[in-house]
Structure 1
């Protein structure tokens, strides 16, 4: 576990619990007004337990909705229920709750790096407190019941975001799980479409929530993450053995472009930041990982649009994106 706790390739870890309320229609069959009333009732119960949570009623907050969609906090299912979805967040432990998305309740905690057991304990503690106030939809044989069959049972999803530039460059991502149980875990790009992963950033998550205990699932994930990181390490070692100067040049060129560019497109920025992160991970560049992650986040379109007070013009977005990146990398406050 020590190698996981300190590994710079690991961007963040999340624990998610899906829950539904007994006697209430699933969100997919709710009407907007019914959903809003339900959200308000659950918000009241949540705030009785954790009163430091900030509440966003997304049917009235387009900017917050777009930000959450861009950062993938909200999923595609949310788009269908936008008029009844509420979002709550607490700065402490980066704890989030989404109401009336795909299920009635999604509890989620995300932290930098990897400490999945600690995060799980945080979410589970709140889950137990909430279950004392709300009658969850539960079956003694099947476990927690959900509208999505993939969530039935524990309702537990573990997600790890990881940076895998050399496996991506050498086109070995598709073969990564060839010796693992593909039915239990999946891998997808954080940013991209049609199988692409811009910035070489991936999310690994479990697809099984039945037939395995929560403890066993965490143990399986630990084993898988170690395997993935070891494969990336082997690719890096082989690459540095043959192309050390070329790799170092590519990293420094990417850093130079980001620090001086006047115009930056969204995908281009992700790819350049991937090289810079690679350089930071390997000690080639003296730049903090936190700085790079900040650059990735604030370079995304919803954040750039906010900085431009809602401006949608692509040329202006690309100009402002470059301004933002330059400021962050030159260590100005942003």
Structure 2
């Protein structure tokens, strides 16, 4: 099971996970958009060799998955678990990923850049994720020549990543701010200070189940520690605002809030058909109910797992076959009922 799904980290009642991603390119090759298939294979071999052959500590912890050898469903599962990006999933003919055993680290090869080192941890653990990603970066840089400019820093396909090449992001659950109508004000403030707010699967996706990804937009002219520190400071403020909003809801209309939570629990426990959107919305209410101790026999980790287990590809993988939209909706409801039944 993926680490961020089965464990809770600091501020885990609101912050689901923290991610550090480093973008790097090899000096002697064109950016991935201009790569031939032959050159892309060279890069995959060169990068994977550093991890799987050159370092005795790492080679037993990582496996190489070349995307063109993975069925579409497997690629989608990796994306739904946030281990690879939608871009890597779609551009599968030239790409690969190095994945460690507990799925806290993935090294994407030939995504938008030659290398995307990603570390994903539960709760607010940006510094810890950075430490891991930085160590892996050092291992790779000992054997590879990165595209680097003394003035600009690390060179990347997208200008917004030039410099440190770091993207620090936090996946956060903000139901109370949404219910009280303050969410737009908070997100606009985040944008004004240079942070990007996106949906569940990052750029180009919408928020589902009151889950947002907040990340830095600027990597040039700022050090890694400064970028991480700024994001941590902002997230602490957002966490406090969410907790204040929850207190306001409880104090102003406890009965109404409890009714909303128990209704969602009742639907999830009994429904025979659940769409993906409806399921995420109801699981958001369930998660809020657990955080507020309205529901006491369910663990947050179980809800985090359900948020992924009920996604389309994960449903089909568990069924070991392709499913129509209706079949997925039926299976989704069945899995949620069984999960909640086993916890009750």
Q: State the TM-score, normalized to the length of structure 2.
A: 0.90
Deviations 1:202-247 (A, max 9, x none): 1010001012111111111111001111221222222111110111
Q: Does 1:18 find its partner at 2:23?
A: yes
Structure 2 CA distance for aligned equivalents of residues 140 and 268 of structure 1: 50
8 Å contact kept, 1:93–1:111: no
In the aligned structure 2, how far is the partner of 1:314 from the partner of 1:92?
31
Q: Quote the offset at 1:118 in angstroms.
A: 1.4
User: What is the deviation of 1:32?
Assistant: 2.1
Q: Does 1:326 align with 2:331?
A: no
1:130 aligned residue (118, 123, 140): 140
Give the distance between the partners of 2:48 and 2:205, measured in 1 at CA. Answer: 37
Structure 2: how far apart are the matches of 1:194 and 1:105? 21
Unmatched 5+ stretches in structure 1: none
CA contact (8 A) 1:191 1:198 kept: no
Superimposed CA distance per residue, residues 150-182 of structure 1 (whole angstroms, 9 cap, x where no aligned partner)? 111001110100100011223322211444562
Instruction: Give runs of aligned pairs for residues 146-225 of structure 1, distance below 5 A.
Output: 146-180=156-190, 182=192, 184-190=194-200, 196-225=206-235
Q: Is the 8 A contact 1:183 1:208 kept in 2?
A: no
CA distance in 2, matches of 1:283, 1:181: 32
Q: Normalization by structure 1: what TM-score?
A: 0.92
Cα RMSD for the two superposed structures: 2.1
Deviations 1:238-295 (A, max 9, x none): 2111110111111111112112221111111000100000011111111111100111
Q: Which residue of 2 aligns with 1:278?
A: 288
Note closer, same or farther for the CA distance 1:181–1:204 as it changes in structure 2 (3 Å cut): closer
Aligned partners of 1:145 and 1:308: how far apart in 2?
A: 43
Offset of residue 312 of structure 1: 2.6
CA contact (8 A) 1:19 1:155 kept: yes
Partner SS state of residue 211, structure 1: coil
Q: 1:292 to 1:79 in 2, by over 3 A?
A: closer
Q: How many residues align?
A: 329
Deviation, structure 1 residue 195: 7.4
1:249 aligns with 2:259: yes
**Which structure 2 residue ranges, 5 or more long, are not aligned?**
1-8
C-alpha contact 1:160 1:203 (8 A) present in aligned 2: yes
> Is the CA contact 2:75–2:89 (under 8 Å) kept in the aligned structure 1?
no
Q: Which has the higher contact order (CA 8 A, sep 6+)?
A: 2
Distance in 2 (alpha carbons) for counterparts of 1:216 and 1:181: 17
